[in-house]
């Protein structure tokens, strides 16, 4: 408790200074009066008693000062004086103040902006209670699926839910696209079918209405829906009376029972949630991994403990159901980690880059401060001569630099509100629709704390650096000197060191930025196997009620294709279920090969399933590898055919004899008809995360018509100009058809890698800022050291030195410093490049063109930074420069 | 600050703590008591007492309270805090050990 009293005393001493002073006066006066009384009682005359008492007491004012010192008032008062002094010097040289505050604000602001992204996307991607206990659970079939599917079989999920002690609860969900509305106005709407406990597991409440009840999980009782806030606003104008009303989904009436809060968008931004009502047969299915699962761990259960329990669980199922579950294992991953498994290292890279920018800003400011310190050497020497201790001087510097950095922090915070808003709004919605947490990017408490800590850290760092720089002031020598003061060898070395460090950091940052951007460009080009240019995509879904029969569906689409293809300038028009870059995985299916039955259900191979109209391959210019693609003859009455991807052909028919073999979707005993392979086409990258060579089975549209298809139109040029024409074609056929996702394929591809693109842009900005800061820094130090040699240059010129040689001398100095920095930085940059290689799917590689280019660029900057001041120094008349002091 | 002052200061602190260990006293009374008990050997400027008192208060060893003096005047009374008592004990023990050691050195050397 001693410290508590001490603090309260100190505060009282500081804030009630006058009262405390008065009390001290009173206390001392009391003492003197008693002493005088003692003497007069002994018979002294009053005047003499008073003098004796004062003599015995000693210097009253001196002791008062000592009392103040003892109470610790002086230290705080001197600090306040220093801060006042700092403000005065800020006001006296506003240019310096503005430049240093802005430089620091830039560095701190860059870090704040990135941290606000990291904070929103990585630390708080979802606003769920106790986010770390939420885990995704899925099963692996133990055979190479060719991609990372994260699904679980319904019956296995049910077993898992009822039979273990690790989960508080487990919920399942799957996506479904509905047609919303009735005749005349039908729109596709993405929804998520969820178990009744879905929202309970996530611990979220509706903004209005209620959640699903367990009874509504039964088929027949499931016609209730919960709307997302966004779709309530967009589609229903925020109608406050909406609860209890019915909407039509796929022709069935659903009652709206709830509306979710604004920020709820799990698992992805869907518009609607409906109960996942599985039939008993669907529930008992163990073969198909068809559901996504999410669980909440019991408190105290760690992920590794849970994984161990799941391993046992999988073993038990393998033994109980060998036909379906052999080789199957269960995996568990924290929700937080699942989301940003790929992007976490990228964010760390960005944060590191922002940190480098701050370091550069610090180095620049340190240079500015040091330059000013040289001018202030006499003042400092005078202070030291008058008895200021080293600690006292340090306090002076520290309070000055802290003042700058706090001002910079304030500017950075003020700017960050604007920059974060700009970051959020300047990026098209299309780019960020797949980035959960993006809307949560804001300047919140933790961002503020981060900024304040960064600002204080910078201030302390700079203050200490200044202290170090001026620690060896010798008042005797400095005060005797005339002129503007000189720079000692040690100090010049320190500042040269700063130039070297700046060049170094700048090169590393530039190279990293360059390589990252190159990597992002490569990633943007991962979409291979087709030509996206000049292709328009339109998602169409036909209402189930009107288009019930396959004939109707086929007729509609055939008419649509004919209508679209006849537009002038249209080269091809076709249909496909899932076009590339949709950010949605293809539907997958098990398949059996005739004559090669899988021994167990669990070993049945799987492939992506696409349904396409004959012109699809020509529309996207997908290469034909063998055989032929579909034709109009492959209609519902003709023999069933399929085209497969090159990756599938080489995997299952390594001898190249895939043509003519027959396959069918499902296990060997399924009732699906056999499909004859008539062609092999080139591999297509479906989404940027999918491997290129996934097996794909294409079925002709006429033989398996679907209501929801994407229309692809290849035009001769300018695909967007066909939007209204295509709309008209559809409207003329049926005004009640919903169209969505109208976009060019090229833009859709750009959107699908938005997050990667945003990062590339940010890295580019950082690289430019780094280049600017380091150029300014190098120029500042060199120009000043040249300016200090104006006198020397004058003498040399007066004595007949060759200007060319002088220029060489000065440039040589500039190049030497830069050269040292570059020599250290090049191996560092190469090492960084190698370390980054695995960050984004191996898209980053050490690139010597980039390395060489930026090295040359920095050398050029150094040459310029030396040349300009050198020319200025030499253009001065020797007579003038000799007088210059 | 040089070493001899530290020594004097430490000694004065110890004397003050010891003096007010039994009852709370004001500054003048402390000065009188130290003078009487030390039989006029320890003569310090009376004023030097006050910075020491304020420092001890700041350190939390003693606390001050305004009260009525024997001649009916307002005076600042100092008394030991709990931690001040412990501090006094350990400082006294230290001092005695040191004094004994110095005495031993002076006698034998």
A321 and A351 in a single domain? The answer is no
Phi, then psi, of A577 in degrees rounded to 5: -75, -45
Mean pLDDT over A142-154 rounds to: 70
- Asked if A592 and A469 sit in the same domain, the reply is no
| A72 part of contact set with chain B, CB < 8 Å | yes
Q: CA Rg, chain B, in Å? A: 15
List all residues of chain A from 23 to 52 with a beta carbon under 8 Å from chain B.
23-24, 26-28, 30-31, 33-35, 37
Nearest CA in chain B to A55: B45
Strand-strand pairing, A708-715 and A570-576: antiparallel
Interface check for A392 against chain B (CB to CB < 8 A): the answer is no
Structural domain includes residue A100 = no
Same domain, A395 and A270: no
Cβ separation of B52 and A26 shorter than 8 Å?
no
Q: How many domains does chain A have?
A: 4
Average pLDDT over residues A746-770: 79
Angle at A108 between CA A106 and CA A114, to 5 degrees: 100
Number of domains in chain B: 1
Contacting residues of A for B86, CB less than 8 Å apart:
none
Compute the distance between CA of residue B30 and CA of residue B19 in angstroms, rounded to an integer.
Answer: 7
- Cα separation, A322 vs A324, in Å, equals 6
Q: Are residues A295 and A416 in the same domain?
A: no
Q: How do residues A649-658 score in pLDDT, each as one tens digit? A: 998 898 888 8
My answer on whether A483 and A382 are in the same domain is: yes
Residues in A touching B58 (Cβ below 8 Å): 6, 9-10, 70-72
Residue range A239-275, pLDDT digits in tens: 888 898 989 887 788 999 999 998 787 777 788 999 9
Put simply, the answer to whether B81 touches A2 (Cβ < 8 Å) is yes
B50: nearest CB among A35, A37, A63: A63
Is A1 a residue whose pLDDT tops 60? no
Q: Using CA atoms of A39, A44, A45, A47 in order, give the dihedral in degrees to the nearest 10.
A: -50
Find the closest chain A residue to B59 by CA distance. A6
Asked if B51 and A37 come within 8 Å (Cβ–Cβ), the reply is no
In chain B, what residues touch A30 (CB-CB under 8 Å)? 26-28, 69, 73-76
- pLDDT for the residue numbered A602: 63
Note whether residue A107 is domain-resident. no
Q: Are residues A499 and A586 in the same domain?
A: no
* Phi, psi of A716, rounded to the nearest 5 degrees: -65, -40
DSSP string, A76-100: HHHHHHHHHHHHHHHHH-HHHHHHH
Cβ-based neighbours of A872, under 8 Å, separated by 6 or more: A786, A787
CA atoms of A386 and A406, how far apart (whole Å)? 30
Contacts of B57 in chain A (CB under 8 A): 9
Return d(Cα A166, Cα A297) in angstroms, integer: 6
**Given CA atoms A597, A599, A600, A602 in this order, what sign does their dihedral have?**
negative
Q: Which of A293, A327, A361 is the last residue of a domain?
A: A327
Asked whether the beta carbons of residue A6 and residue B54 sit closer than 8 angstroms, the reply is: no
CA atoms within 13 A on the CB side of A820: 13
> CA–CA separation, A424 vs A726, rounded Å?
33
CB A150 within 8 A of CB A341: no
- Residue A546 is encoded by which pair of tokens? 């009107």
Q: Which pair of tokens denotes residue A862?
A: 């150094």
CB contact under 8 A, B58 and A9: yes
Collapse the DSSP code of A336 into the 3-class scheme (helix H, G, I; strand E, B; otherwise coil) and give the result. helix
Q: Is A225 helix (H, G, I), strand (E, B) or coil?
A: strand
Question: Which of A408 and A668 is assigned the larger pLDDT?
Answer: A408
| Whole-number average pLDDT of chain A | 82
Buried-state track B6-18, b at ≥16 Cβ within 10 A, e below 16: eeeeeebbbbbbb
Residues of chain A above pLDDT 70, percent: 87
What predicted TM-score, i.e. pTM, was given to this entire model?
A: 0.62
Question: Does B28 sit within 8 Å of A24, measured CB to CB?
Answer: no
Kindly state whether residue A317 falls inside one of the protein's structural domains: yes
Whether A6 and B75 lie within 8 Å, measured CB to CB = no
Task: Give the gap in angstroms from C-alpha A387 to the nearest C-alpha of chain B.
Answer: 13
* E strand or H helix that includes residue A224: strand A224-227
pLDDT interval class at A437 (50, 70, 90): low
pLDDT at res. A193: 92
Task: Please tell me whether residues A488 and A446 are part of one structural domain.
Answer: yes
Averaged over A828-832, what is the pLDDT? 85
Rounded to the nearest 10 degrees, the angle between the axes of helix A94-117 and helix A390-425 is 50
3-class secondary-structure state, position A546: coil
Range of the structural domain that residue A32 is part of = 2-71
Which one of A23, A34, A57 has the shortest CB-CB distance to B47?
Answer: A57
Q: Which of A117-126, A308-317, A565-574, A597-606 has the lowest mean pLDDT?
A: A597-606
Task: Write the DSSP string, B48-61.
Answer: GHHHHHHHHHHHTS
Report the pLDDT value the prediction gives residue A483, as an integer from 0 to 100: 47
Rounded mean pLDDT, A815-835: 85
Note whether residue A39 is domain-resident. Answer: yes
Whether A610 has a pLDDT exceeding 90, the answer reads yes
Q: What is the pLDDT of residues A498-529, one digit of tens each?
A: 778 888 888 888 888 888 778 777 776 778 88
Instruction: Examine residue A490 and state whether it is found in any structural domain, yes or no.
Output: yes
Interface of B with A (CB under 8 A): 26-28, 31, 45-48, 50-52, 54-55, 57-60, 63, 66, 69, 71, 73-76, 81, 83
Q: Note whether A71 contacts B54, CB cutoff 8 Å.
A: yes
CA angle, residues A56, A57, A60, in degrees to nearest 5: 145
Whether A713 and A803 map to the same domain: the answer is no
Question: In angstroms, rounded to a whole number, what is the distance separating the alpha carbons of residues A371 and A319?
Answer: 78
Residue A484: what pLDDT?
45
- A489 in the same domain as A567: no
Gap from B52 CA to chain A (nearest CA, Å):
7
pLDDT at position B1: 31
In a domain, A748, yes or no: no
What is the pLDDT confidence band of residue A75, given thresholds at 50, 70 and 90? low
Nearest CA in chain B to A73: B58
Selected residue of B28, B72, B77, B83 to mutate for chain A interface (largest A Cβ count, 10 A):
B28
Cβ count within 10 A of residue A54? 16
> Do A307 and A332 meet the contact criterion of CB atoms below 8 Å apart?
yes
Interface test with A, best of B32, B58, B88 (most A CBs within 10 A): B58
Residue A14 lies in a domain: yes
Lowest mean pLDDT among A658-662, A717-721, A754-758, A797-801: A754-758
Domain boundary (A71, A89, A109) is at A71
- Give the domain CATH number at B20: 1.10.10.10
- Rounded CA gap, A504 and A482, in Å? 36
Question: For chain B, what percent of residues have pLDDT higher than 90?
Answer: 4
Band the pLDDT of B100: cuts 50, 70, 90.
confident
Question: From CA A569, how far away is CA A574, in angstroms rounded?
Answer: 15
Average pLDDT over residues A217-231: 89
Contact A628, A569 (CB under 8 A): no
Residue ending a domain, choose from A56, A71, A86: A71
Please report the pLDDT score of residue A577 as a whole number: 92
pLDDT grade, residue A760 (50/70/90)?
confident
A770 and A695 in a single domain? The answer is no
Q: How far is CA A366 from CA A459, A770, A780, B54, in A?
A: 10, 16, 11, 42
Asked, for residue A113, whether it belongs to a domain, the answer is no
A183 — pLDDT class (breaks 50, 70, 90):
low
SS3 B11: helix
Taking residues A179-202, report their average pLDDT: 81
Tokens 């408190």 locate to: A299
Q: Domain residues for B30? A: 3-108
Q: B44 falls in which pLDDT band (50, 70, 90)? A: low
- A709 and A774 in a single domain? The answer is no
At residue A394, the pLDDT reads 78
Q: Of A615, A619, A607, which Cα lies nearest the Cα of A697?
A: A607
Give the DSSP letter of residue A486: -
Residues A204 and A272 in one domain: yes
């Amino acid at each position: 408790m001693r410290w508590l009293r001490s603090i309260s005393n100190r505060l009282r001493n500081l804030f009630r200074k006058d009262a405390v002073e008065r009390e001290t006066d009173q206390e001392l006066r009391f003492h003197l009066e008693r002493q005088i009384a003692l003497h007069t009682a002994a018979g002294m005359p009053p005047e003499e008693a008073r003098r004796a008492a004062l003599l015995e007491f000693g210097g009253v004012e001196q002791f008062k000062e000592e009392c103040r010192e003892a109470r610790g008032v002086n230290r705080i008062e001197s600090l306040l004086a220093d801060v006042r002094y700092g403000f005065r010097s800020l006001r006296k040289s506003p240019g310096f103040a503005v430049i240093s505050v802005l430089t620091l604000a830039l560095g701190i602001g860059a870090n704040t902006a990135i941290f606000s992204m990291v904070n929103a996307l990585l630390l708080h991607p979802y606003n769920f209670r106790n986010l770390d206990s939420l885990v995704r659970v899925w099963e692996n079939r133990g055979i190479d699926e060719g991609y990372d599917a994260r699904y679980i079989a319904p019956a296995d999920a049910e077993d898992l839910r009822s039979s273990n002690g690790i989960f508080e609860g487990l919920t399942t969900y799957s996506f479904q696209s509905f047609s919303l509305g009735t005749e005349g106005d039908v729109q596709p709407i993405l929804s998520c079918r969820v178990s009744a406990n879905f929202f309970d597991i996530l611990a979220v409440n509706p903004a209005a209405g209620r959640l699903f009840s367990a009874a509504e999980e039964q088929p027949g009782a499931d016609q209730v829906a919960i709307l997302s806030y966004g779709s309530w606003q967009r589609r229903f104008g925020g109608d406050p009376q909406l609860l209890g009303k019915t909407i039509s989904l796929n022709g069935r009436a659903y009652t709206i029972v709830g509306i979710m809060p604004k920020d709820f968008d799990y698992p992805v931004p869907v518009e609607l949630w409906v109960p996942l009502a599985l039939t008993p047969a669907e529930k008992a299915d163990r073969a198909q991994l068809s559901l996504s699962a999410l669980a909440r761990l019991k408190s105290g259960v760690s992920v590794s403990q849970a994984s161990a329990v799941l391993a046992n669980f999988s073993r038990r199922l393998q033994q109980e159901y060998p036909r379906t579950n052999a080789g199957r294992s269960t995996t568990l991953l924290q929700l937080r980690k699942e989301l940003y498994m790929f992007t976490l290292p990228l964010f760390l890279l960005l944060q590191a880059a922002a940190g480098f920018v701050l370091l550069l800003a610090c180095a620049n400011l340190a240079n500015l401060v040091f330059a000013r310190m040289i001018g202030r050497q006499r003042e400092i020497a005078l202070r030291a001569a008058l008895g200021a201790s080293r600690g006292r001087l340090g306090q002076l510097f520290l309070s000055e630099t802290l003042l700058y950095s706090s001002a910079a922090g304030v500017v950075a915070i003020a700017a960050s509100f604007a920059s974060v808003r700009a970051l959020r709004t300047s990026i098209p919605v299309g780019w960020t629709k797949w980035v959960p947490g993006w809307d949560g990017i804001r300047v919140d408490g933790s961002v503020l704390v981060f900024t304040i800590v960064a600002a204080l850290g910078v201030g302390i760092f700079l203050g200490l650096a200044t202290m170090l720089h001026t620690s060896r002031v010798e008042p005797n020598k400095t005060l005797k000197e005339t002129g503007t003061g000189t720079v000692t060898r040690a100090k010049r070395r320190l500042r040269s060191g700063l130039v070297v460090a700046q060049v170094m950091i700048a090169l590393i940052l530039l190279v990293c930025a360059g390589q990252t951007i190159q990597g992002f460009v490569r990633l943007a080009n991962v979409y291979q196997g087709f030509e996206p240019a000049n292709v328009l995509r339109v998602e169409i879904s036909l209402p189930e009620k009107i288009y019930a029969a396959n004939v109707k569906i086929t007729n509609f689409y055939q008419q649509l294709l004919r209508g679209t293809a006849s537009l002038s300038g249209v080269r091809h028009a076709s249909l496909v279920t899932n076009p590339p870059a949709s950010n949605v995985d293809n539907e997958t299916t098990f398949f059996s090969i005739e004559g090669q039955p899988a021994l167990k259900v669990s070993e049945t191979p799987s492939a992506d399933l696409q349904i396409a109209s004959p012109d699809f391959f020509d529309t996207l210019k997908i290469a034909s590898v063998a055989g032929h693609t579909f034709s109009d003859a492959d209609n519902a009455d003709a023999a069933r055919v399929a085209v497969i991807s090159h990756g599938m052909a080489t995997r299952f028919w390594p001898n190249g004899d895939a043509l003519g073999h027959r396959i069918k979707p499902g296990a060997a005993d399924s009732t699906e008809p056999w499909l004859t392979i008539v062609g092999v086409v080139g591999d297509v990258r479906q989404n940027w995360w999918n491997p290129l060579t996934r097996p794909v089975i294409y079925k002709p549209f006429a033989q398996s018509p679907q209501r929801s298809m994407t229309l692809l139109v290849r035009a001769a040029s300018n695909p967007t100009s066909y939007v209204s024409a295509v709309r008209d074609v559809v409207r003329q056929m049926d005004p009640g058809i919903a169209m969505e996702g109208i976009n060019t394929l090229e833009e859709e591809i750009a959107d699908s890698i938005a997050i990667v693109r945003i990062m590339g842009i940010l890295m580019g900005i950082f690289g430019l800022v780094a280049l600017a800061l380091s150029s300014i820094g190098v120029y500042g130090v060199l120009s000043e050291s040249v300016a200090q040699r104006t006198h020397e240059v004058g003498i040399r010129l007066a004595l007949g030195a060759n200007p060319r040689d002088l220029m060489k001398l000065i440039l040589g100095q500039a190049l030497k410093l830069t050269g040292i920095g570059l020599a250290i930085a090049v191996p560092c940059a190469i090492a960084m490049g190698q370390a980054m290689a695995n960050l984004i799917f191996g898209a980053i590689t050490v690139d010597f063109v980039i390395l060489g280019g930026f090295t040359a660029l920095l050398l050029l900057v150094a040459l310029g930074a030396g040349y300009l001041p050198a020319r200025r120094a030499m253009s001065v008349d020797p007579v003038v420069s000799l007088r210059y002091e | 600050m040089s070493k001899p002052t530290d020594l004097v200061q430490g000694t004065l602190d110890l004397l003050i703590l010891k003096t007010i260990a039994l009852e709370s006293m004001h500054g003048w009374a402390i000065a009188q008591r130290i003078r009487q008990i030390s039989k006029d050997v320890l003569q310090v400027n009376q004023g030097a007492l006050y910075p020491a008192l304020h420092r001890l208060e700041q350190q939390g060893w003693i606390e001050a309270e305004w009260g009525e003096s024997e001649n009916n005047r307002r005076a600042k009374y100092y008394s030991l805090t709990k931690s001040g008592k412990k501090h006094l004990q350990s400082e006294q023990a230290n001092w005695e050990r040191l004094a004994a050691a110095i005495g031993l050195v002076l006698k034998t050397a």
